[in-house]
Chain A
Amino acid sequence: MAHELLKRIRVAVLGVVLAGAAQAATAAESIVLASTTSTEQSGLFAHILPIFEKTSGISVKVVALGTGQALDVGRRGDADALLVHDRAAEDKFVAEGYGSYRRDVMYNDFVVVGPTADPAAVRASSDTSDAFRRIAGKAATFISRADKSGTHAAELRFWKAAAIEPVGQSWYKEAGTGMGPTLNMAAGVDAYTLSDRGTWANFKNRQNLAILYAGDPKLFNPYGAILVNPDRHPHVKKAAAERFIDWLTSDAGREAIASYRIGGEQLFFPSPR
């Protein structure tokens, strides 16, 4: 009978699903790390996590979100540890008792990216505020992440420092998306945007885009690791998560971070001790 056959197919498929689930359940210890799109899309995790997994036997499952969203996931207890980059929000997270502690891990920097033709002459900027003022002065299209990410928070700080209120201006587009999609948009319409150096270095669809301004100490972009508070969320895998955070800040972890390069360029620098 045809429906006998269908039944048999159903049973087979169900078997495969259950086998997959069982496999997931019996796998070695794992933790969930809520982190940022910049660390995932720059390729850093693909480089350092296999090294950590080999030495510890703990597999790290990375959920890549904007920093704001990652903190939210941590607040709900859906991750064991966080690796994010918005210092003010991180300190608030720990102060409110959602995180046990925060540790400096690494840093890189933000870069102002735009069309090589550079209609706003951002290349000639004297500092970050000047660069942002030049973009606003020429009403050149600027694409904002607008997703409460660490990069978005930094961008809003830079506008504030330049004494400009961009929200609502016709040249200011709020994309509400990750770093990669924002760069895709900027490449598509020859717009300016702010990127972290890691995502930019690993980004392949550049078209006419180039780094137009970088190097100001204000563009410093530090990443911190946070243990989600086990007192608030008892299911947090404290021992494994702490082992990961300890490793990130150990000599071995620092070396792994420093050794990630794209085209010879180092993308993340271990924080000074």
Chain B
Amino acid sequence: MFASTLTDAIRLLATFDHRVAEIVGLSLQVSGGAVVLGTLIGLPLGACIAVGRFPGKSGVSVLINALMGLPSVVVGVVVYLLLSRSGPFGAFGLLYTPLAMVAAQTLLVVPLMAAIARQVVEDAWQRYAEELQVMRFTWWQSVTTLLHDCRHSLLVAVLAGLGRAMSEVGAVMIVGGNIDRATRVMTTAIALETSKGDLPLAIALGIVLIALILALNAVAFGLRHWAMRRYG
């Protein structure tokens, strides 16, 4: 059963058409958009928590670490209620659009990226705190300097966000609706094919998804090495 499903899946890989390419493209757009927003929000947020001195700092750190395990289906329901026509942002008509999916995945990846950034920047902060204070850096200058100095390590946070966004199904299913040629992405397509009992096709799509994530990670790894060699 398992072996035959797998061989059928591999045979299917050869026959993929432009419909699969469309689904892959939308996955990249949605998850890519979420990771860009996650990078712009999550990394500075994590760095601010690391450098800042404020009451309840350890509480915030624990909270943001815990939110790494935020269930995607909960995020889906919350964003659904917000974007629903009967919800507070209903007038924008965003439900069942790719933008709604970007919003939901952004909420998912921000805590994850912020938590990793907080740890990375805090470690660097402990090493360089004195130097930065001697140079009379303001708090915000310290944050941006540390973010810049840690950029190679922070790539892990970006990749973790990308992996989380590309692999989640709970949130995009609810706020996107898995609409054919509109909001269907890799994971919801896999869920649909599994529902139809077409397990070889589901596995084939799964292989494509894993290969895609692997390729993105390989590119990021290569870029990082190239950048480190070239710019130090």
**Which A positions have Cβ atoms within 8 angstroms of B?**
1-3, 5-6, 10, 13-14, 16-17, 20-21, 24, 30, 32, 37, 40-41, 45-46, 61-64, 76-78, 178-181, 183-184, 187, 202-207, 233, 235
- CB <8 Å contact, A184 and B197: yes
Contact present for B194 and A181 (CB under 8 Å)? yes
Q: How many positions in chain B have a CB within 8 Å of any CB in the partner chain?
A: 44
B163 within 8 A of A: no
B164 within 8 A of A: no
Task: Name the B residues within 8 Å of A206 (CB-CB).
Answer: 197
16 contacts between A and B (CB under 8 A): A2-B151, A2-B228, A2-B230, A3-B148, A3-B151, A5-B227, A14-B36, A24-B98, A41-B195, A62-B179, A76-B85, A76-B87, A77-B85, A78-B85, A180-B197, A184-B197
CB nearest neighbor in B for A37: B195
Residues in chain B within 8 A of chain A (CB atoms): 1, 26, 28-30, 32-33, 35-36, 39-40, 84-87, 90, 93, 95-99, 102, 148, 151-152, 177-180, 182-183, 192, 194-199, 223, 227-228, 230-231
Taking a contact as CB atoms closer than 8 A, the residue among A14, A76, A180, A205 that contacts B84 in the complex is A76
Is B182 a contact partner of A180 (Cβ separation < 8 A)? no
A30, B93: Cα distance in complex, Å: 13
Quick one: closest A residue to B1, CB to CB? Answer: A207
5 closest residue pairs by CB, A with B: A180-B195, A205-B197, A77-B85, A2-B227, A63-B177
Asked if B178 and A63 make an inter-chain contact with CB atoms under 8 angstroms apart, the answer reads: yes
| B194 A78 Cβ-Cβ under 8 A | no
The answer on a CB contact under 8 Å between B36 and A17 is yes
Q: Which of chain B's residues have a CB closer than 8 A to the CB of A17?
A: 29-30, 32-33, 36, 98, 102
B179 and A183: CB pair below 8 A?
no
Further 20 A-B residue pairs, CB within 8 A, beyond A2-B228, A13-B32, A20-B26: A5-B227, A10-B36, A16-B28, A16-B32, A17-B32, A17-B33, A17-B36, A24-B97, A24-B182, A30-B182, A41-B195, A76-B86, A77-B86, A178-B195, A180-B196, A184-B197, A204-B198, A205-B199, A233-B85, A235-B93
Q: How far is the CA of A63 from the CA of B180 in the complex (A)?
A: 9
Specify which chain A residues have a CB less than 8 angstroms from the CB of B178 in the assembled complex. Answer: 63-64
Minimal beta-carbon separation of A36 from chain B (angstroms): 12
In the complex, what residues of A have CB within 8 A of residue B95's CB?
78
Partner of A2, one of B28, B96, B192, B231: B231
User: Contact at A78–B96, with CB atoms within 8 Å?
Assistant: yes
Measured CA separation A21–B197 after assembly (Å): 32
A66 to B110, CA, bound (A): 32
Within the assembled complex, what's the spacing in Å between the Cα atoms of A30 and B98?
Answer: 15
Q: Which of B33, B93, B183, B195 has the largest number of chain A CB atoms within 10 A?
A: B195
Instruction: Report A-chain residues with C-beta under 8 Å of the C-beta of B84.
Output: 76-78
Whether the pair A13, B33 counts as a contact (CB closer than 8 A) is yes
Whether the pair A202, B86 counts as a contact (CB closer than 8 A) is no
Residues on B with beta carbons closer than 8 Å to the beta carbon of A20: 26, 29, 98
The answer to whether A204 touches B96, judged by C-beta atoms less than 8 angstroms apart, is no
On chain A, the residues within 8 Å of B97 by CB distance are 21, 24
Closest A residue to B97 using CB positions: A24
Q: A17-B102, A24-B182, A187-B197 are in contact. Are A10 and B39 (CB under 8 A)?
A: yes
Q: How far is the CB of A257 from chain B (nearest CB, A)?
A: 18
A203 and B196 contacting across the interface, CB-CB below 8 Å: yes
Q: How far is the CB of A52 from chain B (nearest CB, A)?
A: 14
User: Whole-angstrom distance between the alpha carbons of A198 and B35 in the complex?
Assistant: 40
**Contact A202 to B196, CB < 8 A, known contacts A20-B29, A20-B98:** yes
CB contacts (< 8 Å) of B36 on chain A: these are 10, 13-14, 17
A77-B90, A202-B196, A235-B93 are contacts. A61–B179 as well, Cβ < 8 Å? yes
Residue in chain A with minimal CB distance to B30: A17
**Taking the nearest CB of chain B, how far is it from the CB of A80, in angstroms?**
11
Q: Which of chain A's residues has its CB closest to B28's CB?
A: A16
> What B residues does A78 contact at CB under 8 A?
84-86, 95-96
Q: Provide the bound-state CA to CA distance between A61 and B228, in Å.
A: 47
